[in-house]
Amino acid sequence: MPRYKLTVAYDGTAFHGWQKQHPPGAQPLRTAQGVLEQAVRAVVRAPVNVFGASRTDAGVHAVGQVAAFDADIPVPLERLPAAITSRLPDDMQVRSANIVPDEFNIIGDVESKGYRYTVAYGRREAPTRPLFDRYWTAWTAWPLEIGLMVQAAADFVGQHDFAAFTRVSQTRESTIRNVHSCTVQQAGDGRLHIDISGEGFLWNMVRIIAGTLVEIGAQRRPVDSIPETIQSGDRHLAGPTFPPEGLCLQWIHYGEPGCGRQRQLAMQRAKADA
């Protein structure tokens, strides 16, 4: 049975995040995974399961989410994106579809992910706050020193224990993550982009990094405080969790199918040799 890989975009405003959620005794919440799965089942005409590469939070957007499912489909591959999109609501689209090898692991084979946070700042007058793009742009009234944020962002790069930059109740076994890049750049008058990429991220990690950088730009936190905060592992020493508005999953890059399993075996060997 063929395995299909989809690139999916959605406006996260009206979704309760990516992952399906069915609270006990209540109707299922509207999630990106749930809505996409229903559309795929309508096209495939079978009860398939759709899996995703990244669990975006409620309100977080995506232009490069990746999903996968196994099925025999009744339409040509080149028509699959349009066929699924025609059964989706207006806040979600399938951008592309490919057939991948059976050993393709949608989570394990991820090499890197990229997020962008868009922030409007220094806008104290009500008419100048984000309006038509308010669900795609975070806002702070503080004036920000971009140069300080650029300097501090570089301290996030590398492999670190990011326990101070995730929710206290997170359930991952390890809080060690490898950040490949973290940059801040001007994006027009009173706007900036925070771009961050890495192998993977903890719950709320990107939003807490953004909140911390904004505090540094507002000169409410020392520019050289990031290494000490990382070393502490104390969530209370990092900045606030910035709102989901403004955060967008930009892309997900993959290695060769099966590379995730190879990395896992290598890590197990390294632990055994330690």
Catalytic residue list: 57
Neighbouring residues of 264: CB distance < 8 A, sequence distance ≥ 6: 108
Neighbouring residues of 236: CB distance < 8 A, sequence distance ≥ 6: none
Report the Cα–Cα distance between both ends of the chain, in Å, rounded: 41
Please report which helix (H) or strand (E) contains residue 253, including its range. Answer: strand 247-254
Give the burial class of 274: count Cβ atoms within 10 A of its Cβ; 0-12 exposed, 13-18 middle, 19 or more buried: exposed
Task: Report the C-alpha gap between 28 and 143 in whole angstroms.
Answer: 41
Nearest to 60 by CA among 207, 210, 262: 207
Task: Report the C-alpha gap between 85 and 37 in whole angstroms.
Answer: 12
Measured in whole angstroms, how far is the alpha carbon of residue 12 from the centre of its chain? 11
Name the phi and psi angles at 34, rounded to 5: -65, -45
How do 92-100 and 191-198 pair as beta strands?
unpaired
CA distances from 8 to 82, 93, 166 (A): 12, 6, 26
* Count of alpha carbons within 13 angstroms of residue 6, beta-carbon side: 29
Neighbours of 1 (CB within 10 A): 9
